Structure 1
């Protein structure tokens, strides 16, 4: 049996952090869903709880009594193997269950998990629990970005928290880091936690390249805007050009030009942009176009992983030029857990690193995030390569 004190502490610490993220919210904030990509905070609270109930407690705690038989339908996300669910676009229509009932649900599941862990668990179940904990950490990041979208698209631009600092000035002058051509090993290589999309350590050959020691800053991107970057089709993929024309995109998300001054909405309100802070809320389309404007390119995910120990990362999720594909020998897990990563390996770009919204103990150099190229509600930025 696995010693569970440390795992229990990790579980409870993670559960508490999720609720701390929601603490500044008003009750009306919990149900809002402005777009399909943004889930209401109440849904995140319920979904992360459902994961432990559905994948662990129902199967491993004897005589477990389901909290509410309707919650599996309400809080399932995309797991076809787990049955029917509320359509994703309708999550914001769920005035019931109430916020209070969802918090009762969380408390109920926490106590049941403590009961299960008190008797000890085997290594297989411990691994499943660890996935559940990191799944909730993923949702903590999504929760913050979704809260920012909800409040940042409210015409009053309300403050979430005065203490959340997301736009620190970068403290490094720009330099190119040179990497020699060689064969390099890529992928997770120790016994610590990782997702299955990081496994299949393999060798890749890369040619000589250089990568920037820091992210692109606001002032650098402002120069692209002022040079007519959003009006010059030569910098953009055809699909991207259609996207900016159709959606009238002319600046990063949350940038507002007020009385000829650029201001940026952050979780601590609307402020003039810090010219030396890392650019954020950029789509892959915009990242590619900016690189074209500068005469450079985005790094591949392999180049990023090879070079990452030579620069600071974690301020922003960083777009790469790599499509999200399986590593050699990748196999999906059996059952519903096989849906966690594998079925999304199409039409997505890989992001590396982490962001100011990423929880502690969650990211690592081999972590592979992924999003569609037009999305930018996450804390995404640009690192150039050549």
Structure 2
């Protein structure tokens, strides 16, 4: 059996998810207000036990889930993914009390989570975080006060809690960052919505001496960067899966259109330039899918090269989706840009994944770093 062939049960599950997304979730998504959390949609994800499945899934199952939902309803996919991204630091590093308080609410679709890493001057360079956690020694509290800003945070300012990464040790780079779980109603925490090309809210968070204690720490003090990177290593391949789902939807739309649309005396598919374009779209989509599955399998197996594979999957899949959606729009012509057309929707959705959770250029940097590190290790000494 080829390494990445899916089992019949997995294939059937993906088909069920596509139908579920189209028939049950898309109508809820269409009723949502752009730029706002669609709480009925999040609640439906809980009622359908998809959020429960999300937190019990390995990386490959997570990718199948995201790819299948993206094919039928990108809004549902994104809502699910953001619940996972915002809550996975809690899953991997939270205390028993933190998990007991928040995870049942997230799984049920009653609480909305957010992953608060990016800052105005620290997006791609996550180790350059400037949000300060100053020791709070008043009345022997032994906690910290958070001061600064987070920006481009999905689900902000409407989330119920945030996993926040702040600098607890100056001059320590990645080793001086701590992860905190901060409820949205914490004194001094305010948020502002940003007008973005996005169906879900993206905002800025302002921290004005926001109090946090050791009970709010996720993991260990100064160990937050590892929490963030472990989260991103899991979710980067699944961002690729989201992209593959969009690419497949665009490819299928192009196949149907070029088979039925006539021009120059016959269907478009009989034009060699069109047929070759569709063949290229299909080949790139399948290559991206296989790389995503390979990265997910490596994560599930605990392989050493997960950072490299995750970066490769995210890089190729998001760039491929951009290419495939754009090519599908070109094959459709003006009708694809009409509001409400599936490709008009995908054209707006497909751009952001090339930026968030590490832009394409950052993924190339990670890949190169991992390659040279392995080369140096194999040679038993670094190059001069």
TM over 0.5: no
Higher relative contact order (CA 8 A, sep 6+): 1
More helix by share: 2
In the superposition, the TM-score normalised over structure 1's length comes to 0.28
